[in-house]
Structure formats: structure tokens, C-alpha cells
Amino acid sequence: MLYFYQFRRFYKKIALSKFGNVLNKVTPDVKKRIEQKFTRAYLATFISLEQRIIFNSSHYHYIDEHLTDSFFRQINKGIVLWGMDCDTDAHQIVLTIPHGTSAEGDLLLEYRFNNKVLHQLTFSFIEGQLMGMEQKQLVFIGGSQGRLGKSESIRIASKQNREISPSTALVIALKAISKTLAIENITGVKAEHHISMQGDPCLKGQHSYNQLWLKNYGIETALFYVMPTHASPSESEPVAGSHASRTRRKRKNRQNLLTVIELGFANYVSSQVRSSHYCDDSARSEYERGLTLTL
């Protein structure tokens, strides 16, 4: 009963915040999901009922303080962070609020290919101390999910986007968002602590789920993987051998994609907290010049 009253106070508080404008526009079903979020698992299995309110309050307080009014006006409809046309195919990375996966995070990134979702990534902003880390602020990824039956579309999309898969593109997009906000680390929940998998060794996808964090230079801890938003030592070290040229090209493509998204998302960050390390437009131009190529 105590937690019920705590949540009611919390919900009234966010209703009066900038995010309250978003709540007024969502469907009754989505609003109900948000209202009942704390009655079931949230973000990860190791987060207790008491912690759920603290984590969620941390997220909404952070976005209220750091993001602009235009962010809250557009987030329900979706903010296009990046787009590319290749032949007759259209790619987009869109930031919005989750309508069906709110328990895995409070914001949603989608990779759309010809208006069809290929991959989704859900996340929240939380204070570092809540995860036992020294950083003041973290991004916590509670869910990463590809769509069933889309393997061929994923293959084509990856090839057209310079060998960057939709799942990796979303991690890069989240790194760009984090860099714009001067957040140093992203944490991704381990498969065994995912609220849907819940440590079931027989459930398919656990290995590939953790592999996404590892191939994005994640460092394993007991409960989650930590991915730096800056280039990790292994990502920036010199390459040699028969595939050196390809590796350097892939790194450059990933960095250019990150730069374009970082520059675009800066428009939604409050001027009082906007970091001062944005790249110039040369990287954006270099990347966009190659988007019309047939790959």
C-alpha cells in the first residue's frame, strides 16, 4: 500500500512535467500501461518494486531538465534521427515512446526499412549511483528485439547501410544521443536478467542478445554490459592484415553515422546543458555524399 501511494505521487508529478503533454496525447491503452508499470517487472529482473519508482523518477526528471519543448511535442509521433534512400528502399531511425514494450524502457528507438520495423531498442536514463557506478548519469537498455520473419530485409538493409546491421545502427544511435548529452556509458541488461527471458536457459536468443553488447565493445559485469559512448581502446587500435582496409572502412562508416545522428539530436537538447564538442558539418557531408551510391 505504501508503494501505491508513492507511485500516485510520482504519477501526479510527471503529469505536471513536460512529459505530461505526451501523456495527454497517447491512447488510453498506452496511458494505462504507464500507470501500471510498477505492478510488474521493469527494466530488469534484479530491480525491486521499491527501486522501480526511483529508477522511473530518475528518468523523467532527467529528460524534463535536459530536453527541449520541441522534443516533447514530437516524441509521441516520432522523431526521425536519421534517414537514407537507396534505390527504391528507404531507411529511418526513429525515436519515440514504446507502445507495447514500456516495461523494458521509457523511450524507444526503431530501425524502419520501407516503413516496416526491423529492430527495436528500449531504454531509460538513470542515475549512475543506482547501478553502483561512479558516473552521474547512465543510459540503461532494457530491451533489444528484432522482428521475426525479417531476415532477408535485415540482410538487404545491412548491405545498403554499409555493412551496419539495424541492431548495431540503433546502438550507434543511442551512443550519439548519449554523447550529445555528455553521458559516458550505456548499460545493456544481460539476457539472463531480461524481464522476458528471465534466465531461462532453454529460451532461444540469449546468446545472440548478449553478443550485440559484446560486438559493440561492451564490458561484462554481473548484471549488465557497459558500453562506452566514446571509442573504446579495442575500437581505436590500429588494424593490420588482409582485412585491414575493410575494418577501417567499417569503423569510418559507423563513426559517420554516429556524427550525423549526434548533430541532429543536438536540436532537442536544452541549450543550458548542451555539450560543446560537436563535430563540424564535414563528416555529415562526407557521409551523406555516399548515401546515393548503389551498394
- Report the alpha-carbon distance of residue 237 to residue 255 in Å, rounded: 15
**Residue 56: band (very low, low, confident or very high) from pLDDT cuts 50, 70, 90:** confident
Q: Indicate yes or no: pTM above 0.95.
A: no
Our CA angle for 207, 212, 215, nearest 5°, is 110
**Inter-axis angle of helices 166-180 and 206-215, nearest 10:** 50
Per-residue pLDDT tens digits for 10-21 = 767 777 788 877
Q: In the prediction, which pLDDT does 115 show?
A: 95
Q: Which of 35, 27, 33 is nearest to 8 (CA)?
A: 35
Count of Cβ atoms closer than 10 Å to residue 256 Cβ: 20
**What torsion do the CA atoms of 18, 22, 25, 29 make, to the nearest 10 degrees?**
-130
- Using CA of residue 205, residue 110, residue 169, residue 90, what is the dihedral sign? positive
Whether 44 contacts 193, CB under 8 Å: yes
Give the model's confidence band at 241: pLDDT under 50 very low, under 70 low, under 90 confident, else very high: low
8 A C-beta contact, residue 166 and residue 150? no
**Residues 6 or more apart whose Cβ sits within 8 Å of residue 96:** 75, 76, 77, 78, 79, 107, 108, 110
- Grid cell digits, residue 22: 505526451
Classify residue 131 by its DSSP letter.
G
Q: What are 21-55's pLDDT values in tens digits?
A: 777 777 777 777 766 676 778 889 999 877 888 88
Give the model confidence (pLDDT) of 84-118 as tens digits: 999 899 999 999 998 765 788 999 999 999 999 99
Closest C-alpha to 227, from 239, 238, 217: 217
| Residue 112 to residue 121: CA distance in whole angstroms | 12
